[in-house]
Structure 1
Amino acid sequence: METETLALFEHLSFEFLEEFDVFAPAQTGRTRDHEPPEMMRGFLHCYYKDIYGIRPVARELNNTVVWLSCGFDRPPSRDAVDRFLTDLEHVVDKIFDHLVEQAALRGLLDSTYSIDSTDVRTMPADQDASKCYDPTAEEYYYGYGCTIVSTGSKIPIAAEFTESKQASEETVMRVTRDALAVETPIWMLGDSAYDTLDWHDYLLAAGVVPIAPYNARNTNDPLDIEYRVEDRIKEHSKDVKLKQSTLDETYNRRTGVERTNDAVKDCGLGHVRARGRVHARTQVFLSLCLRLVIAITNYERGDNPGSTIITV
């Protein structure tokens, strides 16, 4: 069973990891103490089997069937596992981007993007984490946050690790730009937290229709609209009109990003076992990478890419 599960990941090449200087030996003549592609497969295997944390991962990779299936010459040490996770922080964004490109090449993206933030709960032992408030659950938690743009069958295409679930407007704009750099959708959906002029105007200028519920906030003269885009289009164009029914029907698709968040949590984002912001961020992006690997693997095998499991 271990061999079959690991073999499903092997068609996804991680050889490009060798190109990054961060994985080069620190000193001339020193042999590499961890193999990036093999270790990456090992971490994906562990996260898929709900194994998290340096010690548990190191124990799993000392299983003879597992380390042989991952391609190691010998079982990696706990220190090697720890060093790899630390080094990976410098390139995990590039790995995620690479996998997003692979998903796009396979036609797994669609014309509707959704953006949302989710909580990243970690251990109290993580001194870099802080007490955060989750306005959706109306409760406090200990940890960080992550803002995700998703599309298609629970496919994350852009993300950013944040100090709390509530992302800054700067983060929202950066993640939105990253998403549009992959492909330009027709629609971009967000809840009322994304009812900002800059976000709407940027998307409209890019030829994308943003749909976020109008939030009157503290204004004394609220507009008679359901979605901010109604006012922005009226102000910028007299010829373009959007039907209320079309806006409502399209906005209902926003639940897709919530399903993506749940899928990524199943891949490890909901089980961050970190000591420090660097490891926490790396583990978050590893979870995002695993979600993409599962979707691509299922697609390649003719199965449903939206499934969170790989049928062996």
Structure 2
Amino acid sequence: MSTSSQTLQDEASVDEFFNVVATETLALFEYLEFEFLYEFDVFAPSKRGRTREHQPPELFRGFLHCYYSDIYGIRPVTRELQNTLVWLSCGFDSPPSRDTVDRFLTDLEHVIDEVFDWLVEQAAGRGLLDATYRIDSTDVRAMPSDPDASKCYDSTADEYYYGYGCTIVSTGQKIPIAAEFTESKQASEETAMRVTRDALAVATPIWMVGDSAYDTLDWHDHLLAAGVVPVAPYNPRNTDDPKDIEYRVEDRIEEHADDVQLKQSILDETYDRRSQVERTNDAVKDCGLGRTHARGRVHARAQVYLALCLRLVVAIANYERGDNPGSTIITL
């Protein structure tokens, strides 16, 4: 088959070409339209009158395709988008230049969290959320040459590494619904509260589960005030006078709600579902969150959110195709 678009157009129409060649890339974008990107001012034409040779939707599809294929970085992405089948599948009329790819990513960095929020809404509208939210932080490895990366310690592997962190709230079948990029894996209480509020803005669950790092009064009281039951193990090291309880919520309910009771067996059963957030973290890492291939905090943050976006796109595509939304691959 010829690699030129002209030859392809001579042999058959693009529509016929797509009917013959079924690719994961086409399946990835079959059920989502990305024209909403035009609503962002950052993608408006230049004030000097220069129009865009390539448009935001096709470039966003191009980056998602590359991340799905484990291709990162401006040069590798540009090189991949020179492939005729790839740029046609992503909606391009012609392959983009390196400058075009670089400029789009720079613009996208300003609104990538809002793009993520839009995709969360698409997942919620399809019923992919459930009544249990889970919150956790994970590491994001970076290149040692990254000047903004923090030196961190991984106690599990007993090793130091350079990187960042990401606090994620997930639900359903490995669906991230709120996230924040952080300087290191250990997130602050302020970050936990901010991500929790973002998650509750999507929908109100029945339960929210976290490990003992979330054993704080503000986190528990905020959730209880919202009608959500927080489930995090009580950490006796947080006080000089430890209580005889397993979960902080036991004390909060006893103190503030005389007519509410929770059996510890129910709390235990709910907390046992916390491991789902670790599977979500692994799923998002499969989509590119695990290791950044960019230098600097701004570029690393964009890559993390692109990975989160890809995870949502894959889940939605699998759901619409009648496959498992929890899978990180699309089966043709």
Asked if Structure 1 and Structure 2 have the same fold, meaning a TM-score greater than 0.5 normalized by the shorter chain, the answer is yes
Pair 3,35 (structure 1): closer, same or farther in 2 beyond 3 Å? farther
Give the 3-state SS of the residue equivalent to 2:57 in structure 1: helix
- Deviation of the 1:208 alpha carbon: 0.2
- Deviation of the 1:87 alpha carbon: 0.8
Residue 81 of structure 1 corresponds to: 101
Residue 60 of structure 1 corresponds to: 80
Give the 3-state SS of the residue equivalent to 1:217 in structure 2: helix
Pair 137,171 (structure 1): closer, same or farther in 2 beyond 3 Å? farther
**1:17 partner amino acid:** L
- Contact 1:3–1:65 under 8 Å retained in 2: no
1:28-66 residue CA offsets vs partner (Å, 9 max, x unmatched): 320214421001111111111111111111100011111
CA distance in 2 between partners of 1:140 and 1:125 (Å): 14
Q: Say yes or no: does 1:91 pair with 2:111.
A: yes
Instruction: Pick one of 264, 274, 291 that aligns with 2:284.
Output: 264
Pair 134,199 (structure 1): closer, same or farther in 2 beyond 3 Å? farther
Instruction: Please give the TM-score of this superposition, normalised by the length of structure 2.
Output: 0.91
- Contact 2:30–2:317 under 8 Å retained in 1: no
Residue 262 of structure 2 corresponds to: 242
- Deviation of the 1:136 alpha carbon: 5.4
Q: Say yes or no: does 1:227 pair with 2:247.
A: yes
Pair 194,137 (structure 1): closer, same or farther in 2 beyond 3 Å? farther
Residue 210 of structure 1 corresponds to: 230
Residue 16 of structure 2 corresponds to: none
| Unmatched tracts of structure 1, length 5 or more | none
Instruction: Pick one of 129, 149, 156 that aligns with 2:149.
Output: 129
Pair 249,303 (structure 1): closer, same or farther in 2 beyond 3 Å? same
Residue 251 of structure 1 corresponds to: 271
Give the 3-state SS of the residue equivalent to 2:312 in structure 1: helix
Residue 220 of structure 2 corresponds to: 200
Give the 3-state SS of the residue equivalent to 1:158 in structure 2: strand
- Contact 2:31–2:320 under 8 Å retained in 1: no
- Deviation of the 1:81 alpha carbon: 1.2
**1:262 partner amino acid:** D
Instruction: Pick one of 261, 274, 278 that aligns with 2:298.
Output: 278
CA distance in 2 between partners of 1:162 and 1:301 (Å): 35
1:192-239 residue CA offsets vs partner (Å, 9 max, x unmatched): 000000000000000000000001115332100000000010100122
Residue 102 of structure 1 corresponds to: 122
- Deviation of the 1:252 alpha carbon: 0.3
Instruction: Pick one of 188, 191, 207 that aligns with 1:168.
Output: 188
**2:293 partner amino acid:** R
Pair 3,47 (structure 1): closer, same or farther in 2 beyond 3 Å? farther
Overall identity of the aligned pairs, in %? 80
- Contact 1:44–1:290 under 8 Å retained in 2: yes
Give the 3-state SS of the residue equivalent to 1:226 in structure 2: coil
Q: Identify which range, 217-226 or 134-143, moves more after superposition.
A: 134-143
Instruction: Pick one of 114, 123, 138 that aligns with 2:134.
Output: 114
Instruction: Pick one of 200, 203, 209 that aligns with 1:180.
Output: 200
**2:200 partner amino acid:** L
| Unmatched tracts of structure 2, length 5 or more | 1-19
**1:122 partner amino acid:** A
Instruction: Pick one of 39, 42, 46 that aligns with 2:59.
Output: 39
CA distance in 2 between partners of 1:134 and 1:59 (Å): 35
Computed over aligned residues only, the root mean square deviation of the Cα atoms, in angstroms, reads 1.4
Structure possessing the higher radius of gyration over alpha carbons: 2
Residue 5 of structure 1 corresponds to: 24
- Contact 2:34–2:57 under 8 Å retained in 1: yes
